[in-house]
Amino acid sequence: MRKKLPQQAHPQLFHDTHETKKRMDARRVTLIVIVIALCPLTIFNSTANKGQDIHVQKTKERAVLRSQSSKTIPLLPDFPKPFDGDEARWHIWATKQPLGTYQYSQSAAILHFPYTELNPSYKSLMHEETIMLEPNEYPPSIVMKGLDFKFVDPTMCFVLTRKGFKPAVGMDTDNSVNQDRLVMMSFPEKKNDFWIGLFDGHGELGHVTSHSASLEFPAKLSELDSLTSSITLSEEDTKKRLREIFLHVDKSLPRNLNAGGSTAISIWKHGKSLYVSNLGDSQAFLASYDKNGKDVKIIYITKPHKPDLPEERKRIIAAGGMVEDSPFPGFSARVLVPIDAMNAMALAMSRALGDFEAKKIGVSGEPTTEVVDLKALPKDRQYFVVAATDGIFDEIKPQEVADRVAKSLTVLRAGSLPECLEELIRKSSNKWFTSPGMELYRDDISIAVHRLII
């Protein structure tokens, strides 16, 4: 057994040991000081990169899930139209609104409908019971958190709708249906291309018009997309064919019943071009922002077709129609469409799908299409498009919508787009009920957002 030597027996040995320990302690202190000095930089870099790393990882995971699930996406069911003029049958047909994601049987395209409808009576996705809400209440954000996003990337796009509250005159209960229809189409073989269609119905059977358009338009757009894969169309030829789709959809609508009408927005990102078409008073815009979600700018916004516009008013009056200005400042003029000898319907737009009686007096079915050259956009900016009904834009300015959406698309808030759209619908809903004279009315509200990869 080795004996412990006393310090005095080997003074040099213990002196060297103490000196070594001092030097080692000094080095440890120096190292600690260096680490502490570098900590703020390390924490800053970690915070800056953490969001991006998580975003990249989640994006990869979603891409793998969608790739693995592509064969399990259900086919869009058939919606055979009634063959007669029975309004009750058309009503039932038009209330079968698809929700979720479907494979489009006529092509490789995938259709994304709203994943849920935020209406006053909804089934909780976390519980089995149906929750009834008062007209001015709003479903909690648990609705968003309970959704399965395996077929859609919420860091890139989302669509959301909410039925309005439209009680009959003298009633405080609501038996109406959501007359908005919203659909997004993606093309797996062209991963950065997409199409958004938005249709806001009006009139007693306006949902028949919007529902029919939401099913017919993607079929024709899919055909056009397939055509452009085999031949090259000029910009003017493409605009002409988009116009033909609008006219075809209008012609395909039922004429043997008073089905009302609908607005129409079409946003087609095709290669390096963005085709934005508008019919009626729904709106769409293209916006840009910096990497921090700031400096948000609306680059292009559609112009609503309103009877107030001189060229629209002139056409309607020339066709024998009548335009009546609103007695209230800030409200649109109306086209008076005769119903019978004593009554007329007041239409707040000068162009629409359907509204065949109104088209006899100058209301038009001609869309306006503009093309944005994406190659000309600065590469150091981020871009997205928004389409929404007047349920949003009557209460919230486009710039505020753009500001909120831009923040939700930044790296540090990746995946928060669904909640952002829910918040916009919530705010718009509350403003409808607090507007003077609108305490018991709220319009249907729908919005779609898609990032642009240029």
- The pLDDT of residue 288: 95
Tens digit of pLDDT at every position of the chain (454 positions): 433 334 443 333 333 444 444 444 544 444 333 332 333 333 233 333 444 454 445 555 544 444 444 457 778 878 888 777 788 888 888 888 787 787 875 566 787 888 666 654 433 333 334 434 444 444 444 445 545 556 777 788 888 888 888 776 555 566 788 899 999 988 877 888 999 999 999 988 899 999 999 999 998 998 898 888 778 889 999 999 999 999 999 998 887 767 689 999 999 999 999 999 999 999 999 999 998 889 999 999 999 999 999 999 999 999 999 898 887 777 788 988 887 777 788 889 999 999 888 999 999 999 999 999 999 999 999 999 999 999 999 899 999 999 999 999 887 677 788 888 888 988 888 888 776 665 677 888 999 999 999 8
- The pLDDT of residue 74: 78
Determine the 3-state secondary structure of 66 from DSSP.
helix
Cα–Cα distance for residue pair 429/441, rounded to 1 Å: 10
pTM of the entire structure? 0.78
- The pLDDT of residue 170: 54
- The pLDDT of residue 392: 93
Task: Please answer whether residues 111 and 102 qualify as being in contact, where contact means their C-beta atoms are separated by less than 8 angstroms.
Answer: yes
Cα–Cα distance for residue pair 181/368, rounded to 1 Å: 20
Cα–Cα distance for residue pair 290/187, rounded to 1 Å: 27
> Closest by alpha carbon to 441, among 433, 449, 452?
433
Domain boundaries, the chain: 73-305+353-452
For tokens 């149906």, the residue is 130
In sequence order, what DSSP letters do the residues of 9-22 get, joined into one string? GSHHHHHHHHHHHH
The second-level CATH assignment, the architecture, of 73-305+353-452 is 4-Layer Sandwich (3.60)
Return the HEC string of 250-275.
Answer: HHHCCCCCCCCEECEEEEEEECCEEE
- The pLDDT of residue 107: 60
Cα–Cα distance for residue pair 405/420, rounded to 1 Å: 7
- The pLDDT of residue 11: 36
For 1-115, list the strands marked E by DSSP.
Answer: 101-103, 110-112
Task: Please answer whether residues 178 and 158 qualify as being in contact, where contact means their C-beta atoms are separated by less than 8 angstroms.
Answer: no
- The pLDDT of residue 27: 46
Task: Please answer whether residues 372 and 286 qualify as being in contact, where contact means their C-beta atoms are separated by less than 8 angstroms.
Answer: yes
- The pLDDT of residue 259: 65
The neighbouring-strand residues paired with 336 are: 322, 346
Burial category of 443 from C-beta neighbours within 10 Å (exposed 0-12, middle 13-18, buried 19 and up): buried
Query: From residue 396, how far is each of 265, 392, 399, 405, 448 by CA, in Å?
Result: 19, 6, 8, 13, 15
